[in-house]
């Protein structure tokens, strides 16, 4: 039994419009679901991914309008890394991001930058047999586009505290002193720790990661939950998120983990050709639609601009 790499990474934004602009127009991802936080329906939940909305490519944001900027600290993910196929792709992104006013740092086969709210992002040249998870964009050739996640890096005071749970219950394979390969039959991703910054404890807020979700097959999901509980973790019950099922717990270094199923997927309630265009509400919130629509920031379908 193995987890199939990263399912999604969920973050916080204080500005949905600028967030949509950066992740769709600049980075070229597809807005695949526009919905609300199922625990607070007045808050947007925006999902950006590849063309199909695949697990492994899916970065999501809760919008708390006007939220102040946070800062990653111990127990928080500080960098999200996507794969690109070649050094030429890194050069493309170096130029494209500069053109969008985003400063970058290139080191060897990596390009580091931040989103408009300071969230740490990185592109890495990675040779892999994993399927490239690519979105279409009129200005970004498919052979340089982002190919899905390579991994996430978090801050921890003492990574050894996490090792027994990660390697025992979750089957993470050691890949370095404080890094692990989380690889299943179809896909893998990396989890790594760095020493926390001297700037002090983390502050949740805009531009920080809320949680990272790891992919489980539908069949193994309950068994993963039981393994975490047996190892002394405190997993939530299985929660039905409609597009997938979820279990949450904090790993021993404090990072909020989710185990999410690889199905049923984003096309269960939308035409795959029109993912992310309409506001989709979970069934329990459908009766609140007029109130919810009145408080959410209006967002235009990013692809509407393509034909203009
Ligand atoms: Zn999640």
Residue pLDDT, tens place only, 279-297: 999 888 899 999 999 999 9
Distance 88 CA to ligand 1 centre (A): 33
Q: What is the distance in A from the centroid of ligand 1 to the CA of 43? A: 14
Residue 307 has pLDDT above 80, yes or no: no
* Residue 180 placed within a domain: yes
Tokens linked to 280: 């989709």
- Give the mean pLDDT of 251-267: 95
CATH number of the domain to which 282 belongs: 3.10.180.10
What's the burial of 236, exposed, middle or buried (CB within 10 Å: 0-12/13-18/19+)? exposed
Measured in Å, residue 214 CA sits from the centre of ligand 1 at 9
Reported as a pLDDT band with limits 50, 70 and 90, residue 308 is: low
128 within domain boundaries: yes
Q: What's the pLDDT at 50?
A: 98
Task: For residue 95, report the distance from its CA to the centre of ligand 1, in Å.
Answer: 32
User: Which residues does 284 contact at the CB level (< 8 Å), separation at least 6?
Assistant: none
- Rounded to the nearest whole angstrom, what is the distance from the C-alpha of residue 284 to the centroid of ligand 1? 18
Give mean pLDDT, residues 29-55: 95
Q: Report how far ligand 1's centroid is from the alpha carbon of 51 (Å).
A: 19
| 271 part of a folded domain | yes
Mind listing the pLDDT tens digit for each residue in 202-239? 999 999 999 999 999 999 999 999 999 999 999 999 99
**Digit-coded pLDDT (tens) for 98-129:** 999 999 999 999 999 999 999 999 999 999 99
pTM of the predicted protein model: 0.97
Is 1 a domain residue? no
29 found inside a domain: yes
The DSSP output letter for 29 is: -
Angstrom distances, CA of residue 53 to CA of 93, 116, 146, 147, 218: 22, 23, 13, 12, 17
Q: How far is the CA of 229 from the centre of ligand 1 (A)?
A: 19
Q: Separation of 107 CA from ligand 1 center, angstroms? A: 31
Structure tokens at 286: 């459908």
Distance 129 CA to ligand 1 centre (A): 26
Instruction: Collect all residues with Cβ–Cβ distance below 8 Å to 240 and sequence separation of at least 6.
Output: none
Residue 241 domain-assigned (yes or no):
yes
CA of 274 to the centre of ligand 1 (A): 22
Mean pLDDT of the chain: 96
Let me know if residue 86 belongs to a domain.
yes
- Mean pLDDT for 237-246 is 94
Distance in angstroms (rounded) separating the CA atoms of residues 269 and 3:
26
Q: How many C-beta atoms lie closer than 10 Å to residue 158's C-beta?
A: 13
**What's the number of domains the chain is made of?**
1
41, part of any domain: yes
- The answer on pLDDT for 22 being more than 90 is yes
Q: Which backbone phi and psi does 155 adopt, to 5 degrees?
A: -95, 140
Return all residues near 58 (Cβ < 8 A) that are at least 6 apart.
7, 8, 9, 32, 47, 48, 49
> Where in the sequence is the domain holding 119, given as residue range(s)?
6-305
Percent of the chain, pLDDT > 70? 100
């Amino acid at each position: 039994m193995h987890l199939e790499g990263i399912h999604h990474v969920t973050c916080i934004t204080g500005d949905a419009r600028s967030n949509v602009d950066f992740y769709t127009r600049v980075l070229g991802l597809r807005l695949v679901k526009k919905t609300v936080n199922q625990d607070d329906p007045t808050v947007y939940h925006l999902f950006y991914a590849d063309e199909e909305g695949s697990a492994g490519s899916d970065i999501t944001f809760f919008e708390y309008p006007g939220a102040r900027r946070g800062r990653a600290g111990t127990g928080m993910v500080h960098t999200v890394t996507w794969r690109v196929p070649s050094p030429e792709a890194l050069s493309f992104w170096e130029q494209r991001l500069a053109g969008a006013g985003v400063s970058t740092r290139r080191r060897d086969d990596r390009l580091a930058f931040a989103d408009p709210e300071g969230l740490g992002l990185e592109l890495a040249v990675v040779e892999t047999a994993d399927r490239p998870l690519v979105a279409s964009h009129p200005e970004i050739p498919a052979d340089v586009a982002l190919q899905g996640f390579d991994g996430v890096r978090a801050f921890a005071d003492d990574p050894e505290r996490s090792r027994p749970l990660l390697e025992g219950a979750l089957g993470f394979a050691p890949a370095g002193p404080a890094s692990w390969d989380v690889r299943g039959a179809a896909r893998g991703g990396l989890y790594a720790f760095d020493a926390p910054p001297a700037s002090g404890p983390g502050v949740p807020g805009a531009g920080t990661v809320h949680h990272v979700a790891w992919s489980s097959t539908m069949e193994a999901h309950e068994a993963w939950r039981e393994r975490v509980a047996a190892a002394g973790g405190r997993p939530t019950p299985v929660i039905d998120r409609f597009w997938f099922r979820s279990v949450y717990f904090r790993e021993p270094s404090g990072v909020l983990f989710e185990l999410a199923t690889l199905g049923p997927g984003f096309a269960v309630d939308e035409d795959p050709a029109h993912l992310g265009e309409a506001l989709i509400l979970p069934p329990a919130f459908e009766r609140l639609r007029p109130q919810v629509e009145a408080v959410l920031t209006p967002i235009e379908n990013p692809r509407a601009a393509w034909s203009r």
